[in-house]
Structure 1
């Protein structure tokens, strides 16, 4: 993930997120009334349950404690946060961020959520429909952070208006521990009423732990073969190499023993080194993790359109693994990715 508010040069690996759909003056008409209605609703709910002594509170990764008189019911979240909460047993009423493809199918970032059962208030960068948001009468908004305290996918232009509707919770997902992020989403889900002892949740954790061990063992085999793994994002114009220092999944893979290429000249905001296609062979790798997010070019397309890609040893050997670098930060979300990586490491040959 790149830091919030990508620049023109850094937007590519972020999934080629669109800047269309920013709130227009027309779209803001009637918003004041909608905000007022939302505020009135919140007041009536609080007055209906004056006896709830403890109430609800959660301290997020900005160090900010959000408090409510009762447990939030209407949760609106960035798709990555919503999909993680879903895996722990919490369903959001609304989402924003890449949720649906043009054909109506779920975006890869939606995970296992039923995208037809949530209100989508924005499906691309800069899209956040304030009127729809206020209409959902949200109790709390949840999103991720690449770097604290910047909330991911919250348009800077309307951040204050969004915050006025409902308090926000930010979970740090960049430059930190993968298992720590999963635990944080688990804690948030539990506070919202999820049962972390439910069979679905405990089974997912067991699968995750087994998958992590399979990567650890596969990494030993890969080390014996001297295999190097490189994480990349590909666009028509640029080639990006991910750094394991900043991506929590890559950091975790490295902790499990996987030898991951570390780029030398990372962008000012971190996360990637940006290279021209002429320099796509700057680093040697035997296995390529290829950014799977919508808008990024995939292996099959690259073999046809980018000669420098087709010449890469790992690409020629077909030693490609899908890289979901904005995964569902849950045991259910990460376990399949670990299993896929373990299989690739076991099967891969030294080619670089």
Structure 2
């Protein structure tokens, strides 16, 4: 688990004091538009819509939401089921204008980006979209919507109903099922050939990973993330992807509970001098743009690691796009890596 996954939310106000009146006007305008029907589905589209989320809260609208805003990775999952959003928040556009890894197959040029990094959220832009639904994931049991700034969440959540999908302390299959259910409620055809094939591919990939892990029990897998001064070694107990892989039999390196204590149980902090503390045969490295990628690590201690020397380093999709289409390859790639790995630890 990377420390980059849980940066401290900025305490700076998202709006300058001089912009407060402008926001107030936008909020009022947004309310007027909703009363007149703007941003809603066509009258014949549906009747009342509701969805109970993982906070136990039920989001409701008079008709199926159309002006949807979501965290980028959630938007990408909905897109795989045919549901397109109007706006996104979170890492969306990488350097050079290319789509971030969390944007999946979306055409980001068609999206209103409310903030291009974790915790950035332009409330004025959000209000201008006349949103009728906001969706994000949750990485704690307190119901905190991922990347919705704590210091402005009250203003944001007043504008539209919200849905939180938990990816905390459960296996990958649960958020997959929940996002599929949400997509279906929003009008997705979950029996479409593409969806059915993706789900079958995921199930086949899971069974293959189970068999490969069983046949290669001695292969140790370490999950890491790199910053300039610290190497983070993830534990598996709270992350939906790692909990699932572990349930399939993957032999993970596990930091001690005492070592993870400072991070709330997520990961162990190591200096680069001590990066060889844990023996591993395969290393999975955080693929998010906020972290240093393996090719850019210039630490001599990293280069000396047996798994690195053997070329047994693969990406870890730390924040998966929770559609069957995007999760199946993750399992396939891990199975390939374990199956091909030489014992070097």
Q: Which shows bigger deviation, 270-279 or 331-340?
A: 270-279
Q: Determine if the alignment matches structure 1 residue 348 to structure 2 residue 333.
A: no
Q: Which shows bigger deviation, 175-184 or 259-268?
A: 259-268
Deviation at 1:275, TM superposition (A): 1.5
2:330 paired residue among 334, 337, 341: 337
Q: Determine if the alignment matches structure 1 residue 232 to structure 2 residue 224.
A: yes
Structure 2: how far apart are the matches of 1:27 and 1:177?
43
1:179-233 deviations in Å (ceiling 9; x for gaps): 011000001000000010111111111111121122112112321xx11001000
Structure 1: how far apart are the matches of 2:60 and 2:137?
19
Name the residue aligned to 1:110.
103
Deviation at 1:160, TM superposition (A): 0.8
Deviation at 1:320, TM superposition (A): 0.8
Deviation at 1:174, TM superposition (A): 1.7
* Within-5 A mapping of 1:1-352: 10=3, 12-14=4-6, 22-45=14-37, 55-148=48-141, 149-223=143-217, 226-264=218-256, 265-266=259-260, 267-302=262-297, 305-352=298-345
Which runs of 5 or more structure 1 residues have no equivalent in the other structure?
Answer: 3-9
Q: Would you say the 8 A contact 1:76–1:94 is kept in 2? A: yes
Report how many residues are paired.
340
Report the CA distance shift for 1:317/1:91 in structure 2 as closer, same or farther (over 3 A). same
Structure 2: how far apart are the matches of 1:295 and 1:277?
18
1:273-306 deviations in Å (ceiling 9; x for gaps): 111112211111100000010021122222xx11
Structure 1: how far apart are the matches of 2:212 and 2:8?
33
Structure 1: how far apart are the matches of 2:9 and 2:311?
28
Q: SS at the partner of 2:269?
A: strand
Which runs of 5 or more structure 2 residues have no equivalent in the other structure?
Answer: none
Report the CA distance shift for 1:86/1:94 in structure 2 as closer, same or farther (over 3 A). same
1:60-79 deviations in Å (ceiling 9; x for gaps): 11000111111111110011
Q: Would you say the 8 A contact 2:41–2:64 is kept in 1? A: no
Q: SS at the partner of 2:37?
A: helix
Q: Would you say the 8 A contact 1:23–1:127 is kept in 2? A: no
Provide the TM-score with structure 2 as the length reference: 0.92
Q: Would you say the 8 A contact 1:21–1:127 is kept in 2? A: no
Q: SS at the partner of 2:50?
A: strand
Q: Which shows bigger deviation, 207-216 or 37-46?
A: 37-46
Q: Would you say the 8 A contact 1:17–1:124 is kept in 2? A: no
Q: Which shows bigger deviation, 261-270 or 337-346?
A: 261-270
Provide the TM-score with structure 1 as the length reference: 0.91
Q: SS at the partner of 1:76?
A: strand
Q: Which shows bigger deviation, 257-266 or 284-293?
A: 257-266
Report the CA distance shift for 1:52/1:217 in structure 2 as closer, same or farther (over 3 A). closer
Give the ranges of 4+ consecutive aligned residues of structure 1 lying more than 4 Å apart after TM superposition: 13-21, 46-54
Q: SS at the partner of 1:328?
A: coil
Q: Would you say the 8 A contact 2:227–2:292 is kept in 1? A: yes
Q: SS at the partner of 1:103?
A: helix
Deviation at 1:25, TM superposition (A): 2.7
Report the CA distance shift for 1:20/1:82 in structure 2 as closer, same or farther (over 3 A). farther
Deviation at 1:170, TM superposition (A): 0.5
